[in-house]
Amino acid sequence: MNKHEFDEKLIDRVERAAERGAMEGGSGKHTRYMTYAVIVLLVLLLLGLLLFKISLDKKLNNFQQGIQSQLDMDASAETHDLVLEDEGPMGYTASDFADAVFGDPVQLKKIEVYEAKLSDAVTLTETGLGNLSIFTKTQVITYNGTATYTVDLSGLTEDSIVVDEGEKIVILTIPHAVCGTINIPSNEMVIGDTDRGWLAFGDIQMSADQMAKVETEARGRMEAKLQELNEGEAADRFATMTIWEMYQPVISSVSPEYRLSVRFAD
């Protein structure tokens, strides 16, 4: 065998060895990739099973706590703030009030200048079969309310005060008195006796929502009465006197010659 033939055989063997190595290397990489994929899949499966177990344990724990809470005994009626009805072993109806929360203190600039007392009598009617009077029940509830008028001085500025040097008058311009929500205390309600027809029995039954609607209507009638009687004008007169009594001494302390004149903004 000459040198040329030897070189060709050597090159051919080297090329075949390289091809076998490449094939074996590719197969090894594929095997490693499959192994990694199986490992990742197993890890994800284990994590899913673990999360499922945690969720199931939580639900079972909540269910057990729910059963336990339903089997617990409530405190006695005396532990509540207000007992509405106590039927002994058959249970009770009570209510509790949240603790009063004191907010940030704010300097009050609304001055109460006038109060008006009002009342409105409401007749409740409950009819029966065929609206016959013999089945009808009526009851009168009298709502007593208080309307409070205030003057808001928070919007006063330097422009609200004008000094008339010639007349020696300090002119203070204030807003008109405004009526707030009419207060109707429940302890001042007067509930009359029920007037029943011959075949009408029991008392008139009304839900809390129905009672609230009746009170809202009574409050609306009181507001209309205030407007009818021009109580706003009376409140303005009292506002003038109140503000004058507050600020005239201050003006007099600066100069006894000057007097205060209170006027209302348009």
Tens of pLDDT, residues 1-27: 554 554 455 455 545 654 555 455 444
Buried b or exposed e, range 10-36, using 16+ CB within 10 angstroms? eeeeeeeeeeeeeeeeeeeeeeeeeee
pTM reported for the whole predicted model: 0.59
* Dmax (CA) of the chain: 143
pLDDT of residue 188: 86
Q: Are 148 and 180 within 8 A, CB to CB?
A: yes
Q: Which helix (H) or strand (E) holds 172?
A: strand 169-174
Q: Which residue has the tokens 């409105």?
A: 120
Share of the chain above pLDDT 70, in %: 68
Q: pLDDT digit string (tens) for 69-83? A: 555 555 666 765 556
Higher pLDDT, 38 or 238: 238
DSSP at 89: G
* pLDDT over 60 at 145, yes or no: yes
* pLDDT over 50 at 238, yes or no: yes
Q: Are 139 and 189 within 8 A, CB to CB?
A: no
pLDDT of residue 38: 67
CA distance 149 to 116: 8
DSSP at 199: T
Helix (H, G, I), strand (E, B) or coil at 66: helix
- Token pair for residue 43? 């890890």
pLDDT of residue 80: 56
Higher pLDDT, 24 or 232: 232
Residues 49-71: what's their mean pLDDT? 70
Q: How many CB atoms lie within 10 A of CB 66?
A: 10
Q: Which helix (H) or strand (E) holds 223?
A: helix 208-228
CA distance 156 to 40: 74
Q: How confident is the model at residue 148 (pLDDT cuts 50, 70, 90)?
A: very high
Residue 115 phi, psi (nearest 5): -130, 140
Q: Which helix (H) or strand (E) holds 122?
A: strand 110-126
Q: pLDDT digit string (tens) for 242-258? A: 989 988 888 888 788 88
CA distance 165 to 124: 63
- Token pair for residue 129? 């079969």
CA nearest neighbour of 215 among 144, 153, 134: 144
Q: pLDDT digit string (tens) for 160-212? A: 888 888 888 888 899 999 998 989 988 888 888 888 878 878 787 878 888 88
